[in-house]
Structures are given as C-alpha cells and as structure tokens.
Amino acid sequence: MQDEYYSNLNFGASTNKLIVPKSIWHTPSPLCDRESHELNLRKCQQILDNMIDENRSDIATRNLIRRGIENRLMSPDCMHPLPSLRKASEELHLSERTLIRKLKQLDQSFRSILESERKQYADKLLRDGKYTVFDIADILGYTESASFCRAFKAWFGQSPSAYRRNPKE
C-alpha cells in the first residue's frame, strides 16, 4: 500500500491530477478516525449542496443555517450565532426584501427553513445521546432551554427527555 501512495510531484504543470488505483479505493486510510471521517463527509455534503443549485435561495439559505449549526457543533466553546435574515441576505449578496421575495416564490420563509433545520438537528442530536437538552438548545440557537422544549414539543408531541427515552421512528 505504501508504494501506491508515493509518487512524483510536478510543480508548474498545466493540469494536476491525483490518480488513485482502483485496487485501494475501499482500503481505509491509515490516518482515518471516525470524527475525521464524519467531518470530511459533512464538508463534502456542503460542497455538493453548494454545487447543486446556487440560484435557489431556499437551498442556499438552508446551507447557511446548516453551516452555522455545524460550526457550533464543531466548536462548542466558541459559539457563533446562527445566521439571521440580515446575515443570510448579506452572505447571498441580496437585500433582505429580495431574499424574502425569492423565498416566498418558492413557498418558503426564512423562519420556516430555520425551524426545519432546528427540528432535524434536534432529532439527530437527541438520538446521539452525547448532548444534554441544555446543550442542544444552545447549539440550535435558543437563548433559553425552555423555548427549545416548547418548540420541540410542538414538533414531536413530547418533551425532549421523553423523546430521548422513546424516539419515534
């Protein structure tokens, strides 16, 4: 395997390629660990999401919110705020009104996309079991865990702690 990884490097070439022999496609990297693998999968998903359709305001907004939540997950000690409507419109190089109008054309709103992403991550993080309800509320941008609990009960019909004991499939 070591022979497969060593190759000559040519700087200044008009094109660059990385050729990986098919025989080692499914061989685990010697440097691989679960957390790095999951981080790389998330990064790849972000790249794919950005490539899908950058002209779709709803997808771009959803990606910004996901990236904000992922940033909070990866660095819990340094909590960056989730993007607001104003920040999202700045990132997308649109006025707030234009973003609202474009989302409305797609039968969406910034609030509905934010709540949808929060719901999805709440489910995922509660199933994971690694985070407390307070931590999840903080990661999802709620200023109080009680607000998160009310929203969670509206989404799933039960409290976060009851859901954690018996999640609905």
The answer, as to whether pTM is greater than 0.75, is no
Q: Which ranges of the chain have pLDDT less than 50?
A: 1
- CB atoms closer than 10 angstroms to residue 58: 19
pLDDT digits 0-9 by tens, 28-76? 666 677 777 778 778 877 776 666 555 688 888 988 899 889 888 887 6
Decide if 99 contacts 88 (C-beta within 8 A). Answer: yes
Closest by CA to 83, choosing from 62, 54, 98, 57, is: 62
pLDDT of 151 reads 95
pLDDT of 31 reads 65
* Domain 45-165 coded CATH 1.20.1070.10: no
pLDDT of 75 reads 76
pLDDT of 154 reads 95
CA distance 122 to 156: 10
pLDDT of 81 reads 83
pLDDT of 46 reads 72
Closest by CA to 161, choosing from 135, 121, 120, 133, is: 133
pLDDT of 26 reads 72
pLDDT of 53 reads 55
pLDDT of 45 reads 75
pLDDT of 80 reads 77
Q: Which residues of 77-104 are buried (b: 16+ CB within 10 A; e: fewer)?
A: eeeeebbebeebbeebebeeeebbebbe
pLDDT of 98 reads 93
